[in-house]
Amino acid sequence: MHAETTHARHIVFAVAPDLVLLDACGPIEAFWRAELTMRAQSPHAANLSTQPGAYRVTLASIEGGVLPTFAGLPVVAEKLATLDPASIDTLIVPGVPIDDHTALQPELVAWIAAHAPRARRVASVCTGAFYLAAAGLLDGRRAATHWRNAAQLARRFPQVDVDDEPIFIRDERDGRVVWTSAGVTAGIDLALALIEEDCGHAVAMQAARRLVVFMKRPGGQAQFSEALAAQSAAGGAFDALHGWMAANLHIELNVERLAEAACMSPRTFARRYVEAVGRTPARTVAAMRVEAAAHALAQSRLPFKRIAADCGFGTEQNLRRAFERRYGVLPADYRARFSALNA
């Protein structure tokens, strides 16, 4: 949908008891901010209450009424059975706490299986992917969820291609589009991507600004920052080193330099690092550099030559090659799509 469309798309959040509140509230806020932007673009914006909007949002559950949430704050939901399935443009299933003993609500699984195929697109936030998988909507598809639950999702539903790295995934096949996302705040990134698909880049960026989200992150961005991911894998063994690496990407970071910073011999350092982190120091440095460059492209207007130097690539050509490998796009295309300064 683009700015000239005059009727609202119906977004339905199908929720289970113990809803993770931010999984629903974050995306709902994003859609509302897009709604405000769309209304402001209307030539009759002075009377907002009468203006057609981009979205109307419904939060609904099997039972309806007061719904307990994981955070303890109850919400009021409509009853799913009272909705007209034909009116649903986008069905979104937020998450609930999941462990190896959690039983999904069978009535909600059945409702999703029966009615989701009629929606234009279906999405999940965090562990909402378990409900989509149980309903058969993720069979043969690549899907994301919170990194802590990715292994559980893969074990419980082996027919799903689970990827624990991206913050969201758009999977389109057989004429159907299914989106899945990582946990909590990644639901906002997912909603902004849906808004961009419907309303265009400018509206999505304005919605991000209204939310004080400083950039609209690409789905392929990792759930952890590279420094945090390395620190988590190492169990704290190289925390100080990873902080030092992130602050010194502009210099040569070979094994000898890193070993010196870690107060080890190069041979001992290389062996212990791989044992602790699960990858070579060179791979960590490369990943940190791409992440730092992506942040600089999105948050500044610095020339590519300066970014390449600051992030340790040396030349613009090396920067371009790294971006094509990691994101499949050139730095200029990445900036055009994700810059917080473009709105």
Dump pLDDT digits (tens) for 216-261.
555 555 544 555 555 555 556 787 888 899 899 999 999 999 999 9
pLDDT score at 328:
76
For residue 218, tell me if it sits in a domain: no
pLDDT score at 298:
81
- pLDDT, tens digit (0-9, with 9 covering 90-100), for 88-128: 999 999 999 998 888 999 999 999 999 999 999 999 999 99
Out of 145, 179, 210, pick the residue that ends a domain.
210
Q: In what order do the strands lie in the sheet with 75-79?
A: 65-67, 75-79, 55-61, 9-14, 90-93, 121-125, 176-181, 168-173
Least confident of 80-89, 151-160, 274-283: 274-283
Instruction: Tell me the average pLDDT across 308-325.
Output: 93
For residue 216, tell me if it sits in a domain: no
Quote the distance between the C-alpha of residue 242 and its chain's center.
Answer: 24
pLDDT score at 2:
37
Q: Which candidate, 87, 85, 83, 76, places its Cα nearest to that of 19?
A: 76
- pLDDT, tens digit (0-9, with 9 covering 90-100), for 3-37: 344 578 999 999 999 999 999 999 999 999 998 88
Out of 210, 245, 261, pick the residue that ends a domain.
210
For residue 219, tell me if it sits in a domain: no
Q: What is the DSSP string of 60-98?
A: EESS-EEE-BTTS--EEEEEGGGS-GGG-SEEEE-----
Whether 42 shows a pLDDT value over 70: the answer reads no
For residue 15, tell me if it sits in a domain: yes
User: Rounded distance, CA 154 to CA 316, Å?
Assistant: 40
Q: Same structural domain for residues 258 and 323?
A: yes
pLDDT score at 279:
85
Q: Same structural domain for residues 191 and 235?
A: no
**Domain residue limits at 114:** 9-210
Q: Same structural domain for residues 196 and 264?
A: no
For residue 293, tell me if it sits in a domain: yes
pLDDT score at 47:
45
Whether 207 shows a pLDDT value over 80: the answer reads yes
Q: What's the whole-number average pLDDT of the chain? A: 86
Tell me how crowded residue 227 is: count the other CB atoms within 10 A of its CB: 19
For residue 221, tell me if it sits in a domain: no
Q: Same structural domain for residues 177 and 69?
A: yes
CATH number for 332: 1.10.10.60
